[in-house]
Structure 1
Amino acid sequence: MAYTDKLKSTRVAIMMGDGATPTEVFSPMCGITTKGFQQTRATNDTVDWDCADPDATPITVRDAGATDWTISGSGLLHRPLLADVQAAFDSGNPTNFRFMFDELTGSEVIDGYYQGPGFITDLNITGNNGEYVNISITISAAGPKTFVANP
């Protein structure tokens, strides 16, 4: 039997860069417990007719179009995170983000991450009496992403 080599979601983090040069430091967005990374690709579709048999059913010819990515997350609001997230939202400039996988397997660390510049496009903070304050965030691409695998 062979089972899936699983990754615990507690070992996935959304990380925000500090913009420092030459070496940018990425810190995890503490409190975010629901995390998502979505990639999409647009296509350009054209209907092509058979010249030899115009009554035949045409086919769709599809070409690759633009790509896009988003990172989303939600969870408890970590107070020290609020100032940095609000500054990134207010600046109107892209911030570098990572969607990172990091898990110990035996004596080694298996990790990898997607990274790219993004804008915080949705920032929601909610609270109910008797409960802790929650945050949800959406980061939309402001440029290409890269994937770095470190086995």
Structure 2
Amino acid sequence: MAEGQQIGRTLLIQIGDGQSPEAFTNLCGITTRSFNLSASEVDTTIPDCNNPGGPVQRTAEPGIVQRKFTGSGKFYKGPTSSIFMAHVRNATVFNAKVIVPGDGTYTGPWMASEFEFSGEMEGNMDFNTTISAAGPLTFVAEA
């Protein structure tokens, strides 16, 4: 992994075309993006049996893992956005890759959990989307 700062615009999501072998293409138009790696906390706190009235140390362990990509920008009509929009309209799972510079690539099943179009009277149409992991992902660390 190369040292130094990473360029935000290279945080990408690529949508699979559903063919065999599957080809992945960047979802165009995204100007603001984020990728969230989180896990819920499972409370494992047990009061001290010898001193039940004393202070209690909260403890936890990782629970359900969540991976989520969010993006917004200018809607760009093209082949990849057509494939993506079919999945949005039909609420279907699709294969995608999220490329996180400085970390690696997360590949597997995803779903669009939120999608919104917006636009001013004079201007390009915008969109916002949240894409959540829909199954186990394969992680490949950046070389």
**Category of TM-score, reference length = shorter chain:** 0.7 to 0.9
Query: Map of 1:1-151 to 2, 5 A cutoff?
Result: 5-21=4-20, 23-80=21-78, 81-101=80-100, 112-151=104-143
Q: 1:77 to 1:46 in 2, by over 3 A?
A: same
Count of paired positions: 140
TM-score by length of 2: 0.86
CA distance in 1, matches of 2:34, 2:11: 9
**Which residue identity does 1:15 align to in structure 2?**
Q
CA distance in 2, matches of 1:48, 1:111: 36
Residue pair 1:14, 1:35 contacting (<8 A) in 2 also: no
**Which residue identity does 2:16 align to in structure 1?**
G
Residue pair 1:100, 1:114 contacting (<8 A) in 2 also: yes
Give 4+ residue runs of structure 1 displaced > 6 Å after superposition.
none
**Which residue identity does 1:142 align to in structure 2?**
A
Instruction: Extract unaligned runs of 5+ from structure 2.
Output: none
**Which residue identity does 2:48 align to in structure 1?**
D
Secondary structure class of the residue paired with 2:59: strand
Secondary structure class of the residue paired with 2:68: strand
Residue-by-residue CA offset, 1:106-132 (whole Å, 9 max, x unaligned): xxxx88312221111111111101111
CA distance in 2, matches of 1:83, 1:10: 22
Residue pair 1:72, 1:139 contacting (<8 A) in 2 also: yes
Q: Which residue of 2 aligns with 1:105?
A: none
Q: 1:112 to 1:52 in 2, by over 3 A?
A: closer
Instruction: Extract unaligned runs of 5+ from structure 1.
Output: 103-109
CA distance in 1, matches of 2:77, 2:96: 19
Q: 1:50 to 1:91 in 2, by over 3 A?
A: same
CA distance in 2, matches of 1:82, 1:10: 18
Two-structure CA RMSD over aligned residues (Å): 2.0
CA distance in 2, matches of 1:96, 1:111: 20
TM-score by length of 1: 0.82
Structure of larger gyration radius? 1
**Which residue identity does 1:137 align to in structure 2?**
T
Secondary structure class of the residue paired with 1:87: helix
CA distance in 2, matches of 1:76, 1:11: 16
